[in-house]
C-alpha cells in the first residue's frame, strides 16, 4: 500500500458513461440470427490470446472469453468488488460495486450500488470507475492488463490489475475495507459437445452449437494462500488425469498485506445463497470470518471465496491498494485432440498450475506495466492536432485484439512468436478473413508487426494446399470443393476444426471463385514490408513462393484474356451480398495494384538473396525476372482497359456488365493501396480526386445528410439503386475508416474527420461500444458485432504519422 500518492489522472479523451446508466434506444441487430447481447459491454481484461473477461459500465463481470474462439455473455454476481466505509463517529455503509442486483434473487442480503453515482471511463487497455456521491471518501478503481505496442511477452499474460485509490477529503479518519469475491468457474470454459454438428444459418453462414460446461463445478475447491506480503485465494479443480486438457487450469485473486492494514478471508461460501455469510460480516465492520475450507464441490454445488483488505485513511491522505485477478488455462482445443498451448505458457509453463505465479508477477511488476502503457499512449494523447473523440476510438477499438476470439499460440521453430488469429466476428466465426483484414489488420501491423507477418505467412503456406471435400454453397445451394490448389483462402479456419491447417471455413459462397483475395494477399505482404522499415526480406522470401501461384490462379478468371479477371455475378468479393459482373472497379483496381506490388517484391528479392537456402528456388534470379516480365505484360493490358471501360467522367462505374450507375464508396481501394505503398498509380490522380468528390457528395452528404457515415453504394443523388438492397445501403465502419485514410493521403483532412466522427458517434452513442459492428443502418440496426474490419481506424493514424 502506498501513502500520499497522487490520484489517478484519467485522460480527458476516455469513453465516458455514468455508472449504471442504461440506453433508451440502443441499436439492435438487423437479423434475428445475429448476436445481440445488448449494450452492457465494457473494456475487456486479459492479454492477447490468453482469454479475456469483460466488466461492464454498471460494474458487473459479464463477458467470458476464456475458451479460445468462443463467446459467453452472462453476468456472475458473485464476481464482484464491494466497499465498506466507517467514519470516526461509527457511521458505516457498505455496497457491492455493481448497479445490477441478481435477477434470480440470490445475494439478497447484499446492498447494490446506486445508478448514476460516478463515471465509467475506458481507454483500452485501461479503464476506470470513478465513484461519487455515495461514500465520504473519493474512490477510483483503475483496471488494466499489460498490453502495449511491440510487447510480445507481457501482452500475452492472462491477468487483470485493479488499482484502488482512496482519498479522504474530510477532517476525520475514515476506515475502509475493499472486498473482492469470486466464483470458482474452473472447468466451465470448454464445449460440452465435443464434435458439434455444422449447420447453415438463415443467412447462409455455417455455424455450430457451443454449450459451455457452465455451472459444472463438481470437484472444484478453493485454497487460501498467504505468501509473504501477498494474500489471496486460488481456485482449482480435482483432475482425474495427469495431462492438462482444455478448460482445466486455475484462477486466483490476490492483494497485499502489511502492518498498516488487515487482511480477511472466507475460503468457501455459496454464491447461490442470500450471501449473508459474507455480507453480514463485511457490512458490519469490513471483516470476514477467516475460515479456510478446501472441501471439493459436490455435484450441483457452487463455490465462491472472498478476500477483504481493511485500512484507515487519515484526513487529506490518499492510499492505493492493488488487487489482481489471474488465470492459467494453457490449452485451446479445436476439433477433438487438436490442441495448442497458448502464448503465455512460453513464460509460465504448461502445467495449468501457475495462476499464483501470474498473480505474483503482476504484484511485482504492475507499476512498471502502467508506465509502459502510458509511455505508449501519451505521445498520441498529448497531440493537440487530434480531437479527443478520435483518440478515444483509436485506443478503444483495440479491444478486439483481446476480445475477438483471439488465438495466440506458443512459439515453435517454424513460428518463433507463435501463430495468431482474430475472428472475423462471432456471427462469422472464422479466423483472419483475408478480405476483411485488408483494412482491419492495420492495427496489428502497426502495433505487433511480427504477429501480422505470422498471419500472412500462414496464408502463404495455405495457398498451394487443397481440400477436395464437397460442400453445399449457402447462397445458391450449388456444390463446390472446399479449397482448390492455388486459390488464396478466404480465412484460416474456425475454432471447431483446425485453424491454420483447414482453411476456407465459410461456405456462404465458393471462396475459390473470389476475385479480390489473391490481390489482398500480395498487397498485405508488400504493405507489411514497406511500412515496417523495408528491411525484412526474410519475410518476403517466406511469402514469395505463394505470390505467383495466387496471381496465376486469379488470372485464370480472365476468361477473355484482356488482362483483368472478371467478376462472375456471384458473391465473389468482400461485398459478398453485392453481385458484380465483368470488370469491376473494386477487384480490377486491386488487381492492378497487386501486380505492381508483386513486381516491387520480386525486385527487392533479386537484390536480397535468401538467408535460408531452403527458400531458394532453382535459378531464382531468372524466375523472379520472368515473373516481373509476365506481370508487366498483364499491366500493359489492364491499366488502359480499366480506365477506358469504367471511367464515366465523375467516378468509376461499379462494373462493366451490370449497367448499374451506383456510386460505389470503395471503388478506389486499389488506388489507395498503390498510393500508400509508393506504387505506380492505378488511375490518373485527377480522376481519383474527382471520384472522391463524388463519393463524398453522394454516399455521405446526400445519404441521410451525413448522419451515419459513408454508405457503400447509392445513386449519384444519394438515393438507393434498390430500396431493399443490403450491403449497398449499409455504412460499414471499417470501410469508412479505410476511406478516411485515403482522404488523408489526398490531403482532405476535414472531410476525412467529418465522416469518421459520424461513424464513431454512431458506435459509441448507441450502445455498440466494445462490440463495434461491421455495418450500421439508417434505421438504428446493426450487423455483425465485434467485427475485425473496424481496426482499420489505425490506418488513419498511420497516414497521419507516415507510419512512423
Instruction: Encode pLDDT of 483-532 as tens digits.
Output: 999 999 999 999 999 999 999 999 999 999 999 999 999 999 999 999 99
Instruction: Decide the pairing of beta strands 159-167 and 581-582.
Output: unpaired
Residue 796 phi/psi, 5-degree rounding, is -60, -50
Q: Is the pLDDT of residue 397 over 80?
A: yes
Provide the pLDDT for residue 204.
Answer: 75
pLDDT 10s digits, 219-230? 999 999 999 999
What is the percent of the chain with per-residue pLDDT over 70, rounded to a whole number? Answer: 99
Task: Grade residue 1 by pLDDT with cuts at 50, 70 and 90.
Answer: very low
pLDDT 10s digits, 429-448? 999 999 999 999 999 999 99
CA 700 to chain centre: 27
Cell of 585: 472497379
Mean pLDDT of 752-778: 98
Task: Grade residue 260 by pLDDT with cuts at 50, 70 and 90.
Answer: very high
Could you list the beta-strand ranges (E) of 504-551: none
Cross-strand bridge partners of residue 73: 63
Is this prediction's pTM over 0.85?
yes
Provide the pLDDT for residue 475.
Answer: 87
Phi-psi region of 486 (alpha: psi -120 to 50; beta: other; left: phi over 0): left
Cell of 56: 461492464
pLDDT 10s digits, 721-733? 999 889 999 999 9
Q: Which helix (H) or strand (E) holds 549?
A: helix 546-555
Provide the pLDDT for residue 205.
Answer: 80
C-alpha to C-alpha distance for 69 and 425, rounded to whole angstroms: 10
Q: Which helix (H) or strand (E) holds 183?
A: strand 174-183
pLDDT 10s digits, 152-174? 999 999 999 999 999 999 999 99
Q: Is the pLDDT of residue 617 over 80?
A: no
CB 16 within 8 Å of CB 184: no
Cell of 730: 449499409
pLDDT 10s digits, 80-124? 999 999 999 999 999 999 999 999 999 999 999 999 999 999 999
Q: Is the pLDDT of residue 720 over 80?
A: yes
Question: How crowded is residue 562: how many other Cβ atoms within 10 Å of its Cβ?
Answer: 14
Give me the torsion for CA of 75, 77, 81, 86, rounded to 10°. Answer: 140
Task: Grade residue 790 by pLDDT with cuts at 50, 70 and 90.
Answer: very high
Provide the pLDDT for residue 199.
Answer: 87
CA distances from 390 to 12, 399, 756, 773, 793 (A): 12, 15, 8, 17, 9
Query: Cβ contacts of residue 525 below 8 Å, gap of 6+?
Result: 456, 460, 539, 540, 543, 547, 597, 601
Provide the pLDDT for residue 577.
Answer: 86
CB 462 within 8 Å of CB 431: no
Mean pLDDT of the chain, nearest integer: 96
C-alpha to C-alpha distance for 685 and 517, rounded to whole angstroms: 25
Question: How many residues are recorded in the chain?
Answer: 804
pLDDT 10s digits, 10-35? 999 999 999 999 999 999 999 998 99
Task: Grade residue 4 by pLDDT with cuts at 50, 70 and 90.
Answer: low
Mean pLDDT of 364-374: 98
Query: Cβ contacts of residue 123 below 8 Å, gap of 6+?
Result: 11, 13, 14, 15, 377, 391, 392, 395, 396
Residue appearing with cell numbers 450500488: 113
Mean pLDDT of 59-66: 98
C-alpha to C-alpha distance for 127 and 57, rounded to whole angstroms: 10
Q: Quick one: CA dihedral 340, 345, 349, 353, positive or negative?
A: negative
Least confident of 196-210, 238-252, 749-763: 196-210
Amino acid at each position: 500500500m502506498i501513502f500520499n500518492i497522487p490520484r489517478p489522472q484519467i485522460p480527458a479523451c476516455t469513453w465516458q458513461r455514468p455508472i449504471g446508466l442504461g440506453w433508451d434506444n440502443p441499436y439492435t441487430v438487423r437479423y434475428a440470427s445475429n448476436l445481440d447481447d445488448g449494450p452492457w459491454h465494457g473494456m475487456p481484461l486479459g492479454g492477447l490470446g490468453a482469454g479475456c473477461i469483460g466488466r461492464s459500465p454498471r460494474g458487473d463481470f459479464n463477458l467470458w472469453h476464456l475458451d479460445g474462439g468462443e463467446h459467453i455473455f452472462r453476468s456472475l454476481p458473485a464476481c464482484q468488488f464491494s466497499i465498506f466505509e466507517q467514519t470516526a463517529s461509527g457511521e458505516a455503509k457498505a455496497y457491492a460495486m455493481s448497479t445490477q442486483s441478481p435477477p434470480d434473487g440470490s445475494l439478497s442480503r447484499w446492498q447494490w450500488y446506486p445508478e448514476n453515482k460516478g463515471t465509467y471511463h475506458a481507454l483500452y487497455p485501461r479503464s476506470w470507475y470513478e465513484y461519487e456521491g455515495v461514500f465520504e471518501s473519493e474512490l477510483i478503481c483503475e483496471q488494466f492488463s499489460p498490453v502495449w505496442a511491440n510487447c510480445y511477452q507481457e501482452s500475452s499474460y492472462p491477468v487483470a490489475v485493479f488499482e484502488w485509490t482512496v482519498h479522504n477529503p474530510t477532517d476525520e479518519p475514515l476506515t475502509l475495507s475493499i472486498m473482492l469475491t469470486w466464483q470458482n468457474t474452473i472447468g466451465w470454459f470448454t464445449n460440452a459437445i465435443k464434435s458439434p454438428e455444422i449447420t447453415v444459418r438463415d443467412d447462409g453462414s455455417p455455424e455450430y452449437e457451443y454449450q459451455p460446461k457452465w455451472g459444472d463445478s463438481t470437484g472444484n475447491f478453493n485454497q487460501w494462500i498467504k505468501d509473504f506480503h501477498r494474500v489471496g485465494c486460488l481456485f482449482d479443480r480435482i483432475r482425474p488425469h495427469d495431462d492438462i486438457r482444455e478448460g482445466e487450469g486455475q484462477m486466483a485473486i490476490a492483494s497485499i498485506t502489511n502492518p498498516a492494514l488487515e487482511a480477511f478471508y472466507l475460503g468457501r461460501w455459496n454464491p447461490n445463497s442470500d450471501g449473508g455469510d459474507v455480507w453480514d460480516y463485511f457490512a458490519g465492520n469490513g471483516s470476514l470470518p477467516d475460515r479456510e475450507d478446501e472441501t471439493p464441490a459436490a455435484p450441483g454445488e457452487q463455490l465462491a471465496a472472498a478476500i477483504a483488505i481493511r485500512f484507515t485513511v487519515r484526513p487529506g491522505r490518499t492510499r492505493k491498494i492493488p488487487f489482481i485477478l489471474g488465470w492459467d488455462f494453457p490449452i485451446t482445443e479445436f476439433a477433438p485432440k487438436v490442441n495448442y498451448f497458448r502464448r503465455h505458457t512460453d513464460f509460465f509453463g504448461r502445467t495449468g498450475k501457475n495462476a499464483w505465479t501470474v498473480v505474483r508477477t503482476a504484484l511485482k511488476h504492475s507499476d512498471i506495466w502502467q508506465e509502459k502503457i502510458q509511455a505508449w499512449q501519451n505521445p498520441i494523447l498529448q497531440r493537440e492536432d487530434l480531437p479527443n473523440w478520435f483518440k478515444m476510438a483509436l485506443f478503444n477499438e483495440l479491444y478486439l485484439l483481446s476480445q475477438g476470439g483471439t488465438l495466440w499460440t506458443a512459439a515453435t521453430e517454424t513460428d518463433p512468436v507463435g501463430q495468431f488469429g482474430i475472428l472475423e466476428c462471432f456471427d462469422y466465426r472464422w479466423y483472419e478473413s483475408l478480405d476483411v483484414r485488408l483494412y482491419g489488420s492495420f492495427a496489428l501491423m502497426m502495433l505487433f508487426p511480427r504477429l501480422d507477418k505470422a498471419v500472412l505467412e500462414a496464408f502463404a503456406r495455405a495457398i498451394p494446399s487443397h481440400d477436395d471435400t464437397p460442400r453445399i454453397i449457402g447462397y445458391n445451394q450449388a456444390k463446390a470443393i472446399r479449397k482448390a490448389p492455388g486459390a488464396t483462402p478466404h480465412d484460416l479456419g474456425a475454432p471447431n476444426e483446425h485453424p491454420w491447417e483447414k482453411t476456407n471455413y465459410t461456405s456462404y459462397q465458393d471462396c475459390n471463385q473470389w476475385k479480390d483475395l489473391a490481390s489482398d494477399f500480395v498487397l498485405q505482404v508488400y504493405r507489411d514490408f514497406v511500412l515496417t522499415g523495408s528491411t525484412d526480406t526474410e519475410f518476403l522470401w517466406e511469402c514469395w513462393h505463394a505470390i505467383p501461384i495466387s496471381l496465376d490462379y486469379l488470372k485464370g478468371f480472365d476468361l477473355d484474356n484482356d488482362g483483368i479477371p472478371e467478376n462472375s455475378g456471384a458473391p465473389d468479393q468482400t461485398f459478398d451480398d453485392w453481385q458484380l459482373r465483368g470488370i469491376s472497379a473494386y477487384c480490377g483496381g486491386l488487381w492492378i495494384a497487386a501486380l505492381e506490388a508483386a513486381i516491387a517484391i520480386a525486385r527487392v528479392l533479386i537484390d536480397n538473396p535468401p538467408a535460408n537456402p531452403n527458400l531458394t528456388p532453382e535459378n531464382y534470379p531468372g524466375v523472379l525476372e520472368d515473373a516481373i516480365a509476365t506481370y508487366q505484360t498483364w499491366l500493359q493490358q489492364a491499366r488502359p482497359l480499366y480506365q477506358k471501360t469504367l471511367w464515366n467522367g465523375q467516378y468509376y462505374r461499379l462494373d462493366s456488365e451490370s449497367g448499374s450507375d451506383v456510386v460505389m464508396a470503395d471503388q478506389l481501394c486499389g488506388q489507395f493501396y498503390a498510393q500508400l505503398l509508393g506504387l505506380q498509380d492505378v488511375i490518373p490522380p485527377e480522376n481519383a480526386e474527382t471520384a472522391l468528390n463524388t463519393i463524398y457528395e453522394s454516399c455521405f452528404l446526400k445519404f441521410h445528410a451525413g448522419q451515419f457515415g459513408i454508405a457503400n453504394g447509392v445513386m449519384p443523388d444519394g438515393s438507393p439503386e434498390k430500396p431493399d438492397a443490403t450491403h449497398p445501403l449499409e455504412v460499414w465502419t471499417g470501410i469508412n475508416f479505410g476511406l478516411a485514410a485515403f482522404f488523408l493521403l489526398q490531403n482532405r483532412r476535414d472531410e476525412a474527420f467529418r465522416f469518421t466522427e459520424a461513424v464513431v458517434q454512431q458506435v459509441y452513442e448507441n450502445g455498440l461500444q466494445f462490440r463495434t459492428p461491421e455495418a450500421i443502418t439508417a434505421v438504428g440496426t446493426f450487423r455483425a458485432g465485434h467485427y475485425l474490419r473496424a481496426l482499420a481506424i489505425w490506418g488513419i493514424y498511420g497516414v497521419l504519422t507516415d507510419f512512423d
